[in-house]
Chain A
């Protein structure tokens, strides 16, 4: 292994800055003369706005401007558009209400911006907000997905009867119907995937400046994808996108939330231009609960057809997905974009799904770690466990029997995905070993003897990573031989800076301290897709390898001039040295770089400098996979649940930094377990948020989480030369079904066949009590 190169658990180079409080977050930026923005939000889920009285508020000292929907209309402000379009119930492209940045005459969710107050201080803005009188005419609303298409449910949009926005089918209906007709057994399950808040550690935040001289905005914001955000914001503000420079500095967590443009980004820019001053906004936590896009929220019916040998014949799902009141950039995508995961890691000849996307009077749905992958994975992995229980089979054996064999890679699932690589039987065997799967019944009996229920659950994960194949990057070598890396991806905690340094060490033999990583800034690089969908390591590996090879090739040409040999006589060697073959002449990268920046020494017409920028495109997406095992214990007396064990075998193709991969798996698992355990967003019948702070929203704590045992089961991807697959989301994708399977297994002996998340103590206690409690006989066994 090369020093600092691929495969080493290099400590994260950005951590010193981040943990010592010397990171550079957007909220740290306070341009001279900047004003603060406060957003007055709708208190009603559905209301007509009769009028907004702002006169008294304008009198508050320090108030610079108060803007409402009327001003937005006057200024022609638009909304954010959806990235994905499908069909509506009439077979035509679905109705697409853009994600409005401020309410006009109607508010459609609690927390929707109604007025924007710009003031010298935040306190003055809040004082003014208290004096604004909004004349609301409240209407009956529907906030619960289960009720959205009930007869007579209030309509979020008159254009969508039954609140049905998208109605679409995936897969092959007739083949699936045939499979079910032939089945020896059909297993079925109904469940709900709860709605959750993303809860990034750093709230959303933005600072906008309008330069009258340049006729251009500079936006610093906590976002995952400056380039895409810029395009969207340009659309909302009615500007060409080059009139916006978007920059993301340090970002404290994104998880997809910050890949979706939110109203406040546009509002802060609009306000800055209106008042002619830089304007800052930072969400407060309770504001985030109301106004950050929520995630998941689906109701699922799944059926699995099996033959006499318990081989899968077909899978059928019916899904209702909540979109919220508007379509966010990725709202439709979350319901449909990753549905390919339904095929799992199994030979599954026929799949059919019907997906209904519905509007409700709630904040729009956006992506959250997995963005549809955990949902798809829940569907296949839950119904497999139900089938195993029906058939009295070990769920591990049922899975094993249906796995795609390793020798059939690459494997066309016949549904959506073609898997590049993977050895699922090996992966399952490994996790069964480290979790002592076969010894579980002894542990269960031990728990019963202590009066506790115990369950084990398995789930395979497979997910598409790096579905967005294109990315741009640049390597620039300065005259000292130091290297600057620029890409269109964005680091929001994952460790990109460390990864880039390791890749440069690998490909260019330059130590980490001579490599700097540029902020993701639309002025630094003309294109970028941002970070999301577990893509950065996969894309960056190929991108930086390509860039490095081009820079080295150029360096060889320069070295050839310096060393007076032909370029093909030059080798690039360990220690970043260009050496003339069969001679003792050589030049270091620094010497070559210095020479390259002295055009007077170069032949006429030779292009000086030692930098390269280009776009690359991967051959195809990658499919990281893994097998998760979760073990739980439940106190039947109180309903308290403990995660007592968790094991993962993961296939990330090749780990650039195994420690970072582990960290990603840990974080992902915790976010999945958190949702299984108790994170959930609850709106009451009036559409008011009942879980609007950490006093009510059950964020998991470290002590709630088990130790996580991880074993690597890597098989290199065939879709990129380094074999790297993604690792950002798999943890969550596996944890949700593994946990719910474990909980169902613990409750199964009481005759409880299904249990919906979240597994809060009250819900568990009630389910156990309603099932007659834990029989004394069981404890005696």
Chain B
């Protein structure tokens, strides 16, 4: 780790002000992505601003038709929330499948989406549910938020404060884990919402999370796993590495999508 100064603040506004003042500050949420990068000296920053005291950024609010979750809410809190288990079970399940108990006890939703790891789970939920990202500067639709690998629409000095998830009629998330890292090799979020059907794919795309529009069209026409067979998927946009080449990733996307559809159908039966 390179040396740095450590700061703490009690609110998002305070953190924003400190960021502006320091110039090269880095926000610290659960530290599950940032700290490993710092330890490996991949990230160098003169100042770390710890958000742990920002109570206002923590919490799960079940509204009518939507659930709002604070940025500093930990994965374990989302996974174990009784209210969510009824209101939006797919999200609780997704959070419960992130990393391991140590990671879930520290990692936060805001950190995950601000980080936008191309294999992270929350971005798939945000995009799949058509969520709205709440920030210190306003609101950003998930469709406009995730720009690429580790890239988001957040402006310099802007903080994620929370996410508002519309509650869908039905949804399911299926992921096939990377055999080594256990992140998603291919994770597919399928949601049937008021304003239509959405499918978000994480882990597979070379540009990070994306919507699989062809499959959305196919399933809108016929909500059945077989309908996916005809949906095109451009594998040239998919990642290739020693664990999974684009062919295999593309195949897994199809399989996970079909399994998510089956899960929704089974739940409705």
Contact = CB atoms under 8 A, between A and B. Distances in A.
Interface stretch (B48-56, B133-141, B155-163, B239-247): B239-247
B242 A696 contact: yes
B180 A690 contact: no
A123 B3 contact: yes
A174 B180 CA distance: 47
A126 B40 contact: no
Interface string B156-186: 0000000000000000000010011110010
Interface centre among B2, B179, B181, B242 (most CB of A within 10 A): B179
B242 A761 contact: no
Contacts, number: 43
B180 A638 contact: no
Given A682-B242, A695-B181, A696-B243, A762 B3 contact: no
B242 A690 contact: yes
A286 B179 contact: no
A4 interface: no
A192 B248 CA distance: 23
Contact of B248 (A699, A701, A766): A766
Given A637-B255, A638-B252, A682-B242, A694 B176 contact: no
A690 B241 CA distance: 10
Interface centre among A637, A640, A766 (most CB of B within 10 A): A637
Contact of B180 (A637, A697, A765): A697
B49 to A, nearest CB: 21
A698 interface: yes
Contact of A123 (B2, B182, B248, B252): B2
Contacts of B244: 761-762
B251 A765 contact: yes
Interface centre among B1, B40, B185, B243 (most CB of A within 10 A): B243
A699 to B, nearest CB: 7
B248 A694 contact: no
B82 interface: no
Contacts of B248: 639, 762, 765-766
A760 B41 contact: no
A86 B109 CA distance: 59
A769 to B, nearest CB: 8
A762 B40 CA distance: 29
Interface in A664-680: 678
Contacts of B179: 678, 698, 760-761
Interface in A437-485: none
Interface in B30-85: 40-41
Given A640-B176, A696-B181, A699-B180, A123 B1 contact: yes
Given A123-B3, A698-B180, A765-B248, A638 B255 contact: yes
B242 to A, nearest CB: 6
Interface in B1-32: 1-3
Contacts of B185: 761
Contacts of A697: 180
Given A286-B40, A762-B244, A695 B180 contact: yes
Nearest to B41: A126
Contacts of A698: 179-180
Contacts of A640: 176
Contacts of B1: 123
Given A123-B2, A123-B3, A761 B176 contact: yes
A696 B180 contact: yes
A701 B182 CA distance: 10
A762 B243 contact: yes
A762 B252 CA distance: 10
Interface of A: 123, 126, 286, 637-640, 678, 682, 690-691, 694-699, 701, 760-762, 765-766
29 contacts: A123-B3, A126-B41, A637-B255, A638-B252, A638-B255, A640-B176, A678-B179, A678-B180, A682-B242, A691-B180, A691-B242, A695-B181, A696-B180, A697-B180, A698-B179, A698-B180, A699-B180, A701-B182, A760-B179, A760-B243, A761-B185, A761-B244, A762-B243, A762-B244, A762-B245, A762-B248, A765-B248, A765-B251, A766-B248
Interface of B: 1-3, 40-41, 176, 179-182, 185, 242-245, 248, 251-252, 255
Given A638-B176, A682-B242, 8 more contacts: A123-B1, A123-B3, A126-B41, A638-B255, A696-B181, A698-B180, A699-B180, A761-B244
Closest 10 CB pairs of A and B: A698-B180, A695-B181, A698-B179, A762-B248, A678-B179, A696-B180, A762-B244, A637-B255, A690-B242, A760-B179
